[in-house]
Amino acid sequence: MTRVLKTIRGLTFAAAAFAGAIALPALAQPAATPAAATTTAPADAAAPAADAATPAKVPDIVHQAPTPGIGQPTQSIGLQPQETAIGLEAVQMHNYILVPMMAVMSILVLLLLLWVIVRYRAAANPVPSKTHHNTLIEVIWTLLPVLILVAIAVPSIRLIAHQYSPPKADLTIKAIGNQWFWTYQYPDNGDFEVVSNMLPEQKDVAAGKRFRTDADGPRLLAVDERMVVPAGAVVKIISTSNDVIHSFALPAAWTKIDAVPGRLNETWFKIDRPGVYFGQCSELCGARHGFMPIAVEVVPPAQFAQWVASKGGTMTKPKPADAAPAADESANAAELSDTVGNDTANATENKG
């Protein structure tokens, strides 16, 4: 009996010791709370650093208001004021070659008609002349049109050669026609895209929606997103279409190129003066053909960089694929091929 009591007492003591061992960590747990607080504090302190590492959104530039008479239709019967070297050359050809030539030919033909009407009327010639051949007149009316065509062809061919011999591009933009809006992609600046729609008049939109103002541009020409380019840069336009044939036309830059589905066409312009220049789709493309304008805003290079950053782009051009490693690999492959060929030839000779 005594042995049983001792055994029960030992078990009770062991159970009490085990319970005390379990209780000790529970008592020590409050002491660990400051450590947890200490661990949490650096995480909270690191939160501002993480926020600082996130780049802040770059604000958009302050867009320019268009200048009356520049880059838009005018009341003049002549061409729009030109802002490119190609445009100035074309205007000079138009003003100093084509217009004088048309005026001289029109006056000459009118005088000849009047002379024939008066000189060869029935009252002055009761007996008609039977002349049916005159060598001098035939030579004149053959050579004169040829000389006129040569006078037009020489400056025309020179102008076309200048227009289709662009310098190295500083910026490439892909202009994509859609029914009935434009999208502009900037592959040199992160390949972001801008969607450009015509701005409606105030009376045509619901309250709170954006509408056209004079700061946006003339009626039927103002857009919600302009194509922005840097001043003095050679801009290469690659045009195509997602649906039907459109045409990218900017009269002040003497630029017009068709946008054809499944095909890439190319043109270029270089405008030095900052401002806003308007154009329109110049190919009948459907019911709303007259409602897909083009607006190009030329800004200083610093503002262009800010605008690109505001659209999520970058000013770093993508680097072309390095051809040197490929050339080295080709050379190594050729060398290995020669070595294998020599070894094969030596083995053949040894067998012989």
Tens digit of each residue's pLDDT (9 = 90 or more) over 131-170: 788 889 899 989 999 999 999 999 999 999 999 888 999 9
Angle, helices 99-119 vs 135-163, to 10°: value is 160
Q: How confident is the model at residue 193 (pLDDT cuts 50, 70, 90)?
A: very high
Please tell me the least confidently modeled range out of 96-110, 133-147, 235-249, 331-345.
Answer: 331-345
Q: Where are the domains of the chain?
A: 85-123+138-163
Q: What is the spatial distance between Cα 210 and Cα 199, in angstroms, rounded to a whole number?
A: 8
Q: Using one digit for the tens of pLDDT, what is the confidence trace for 305-320?
A: 999 999 999 987 766 5
| pLDDT: which is higher, 171 or 32 | 171
What's the confidence (pLDDT) of residue 19? 46
Q: What is the spatial distance between Cα 184 and Cα 171, in angstroms, rounded to a whole number?
A: 12
| Strand spans (E) along 161-245 | 171-178, 181-186, 192-196, 227-230, 235-241
What's the confidence (pLDDT) of residue 127? 85
Average pLDDT value for residue range 243-258:
95
Q: What is the spatial distance between Cα 285 and Cα 297, in angstroms, rounded to a whole number?
A: 25
Q: Report the b/e string of 304-340 with b at 16+ CB within 10 A.
A: bbbbbbebebbeeeeeeeeeeeeeeeeeeeeeeeeee
Torsion on CA atoms 225, 228, 234, 238, rounded to nearest 10: -20
pLDDT surpassing 50 at residue 265: yes
Closest CA to 295 of 219, 238, 240, 232: 219
Contact indicator for 294, 249 with CB cutoff of 8 Å: yes
pLDDT surpassing 60 at residue 113: yes
pTM for this model (two decimals)? 0.70
Residue linked to tokens 């003049």: 76
- DSSP track, 259-275: E-BT--EEEEE---S-E
pLDDT surpassing 60 at residue 102: yes
Q: Please, what is the end-to-end C-alpha distance for the chain in angstroms?
A: 108
Q: What is the spatial distance between Cα 177 and Cα 144, in angstroms, rounded to a whole number?
A: 45
Q: How confident is the model at residue 130 (pLDDT cuts 50, 70, 90)?
A: confident
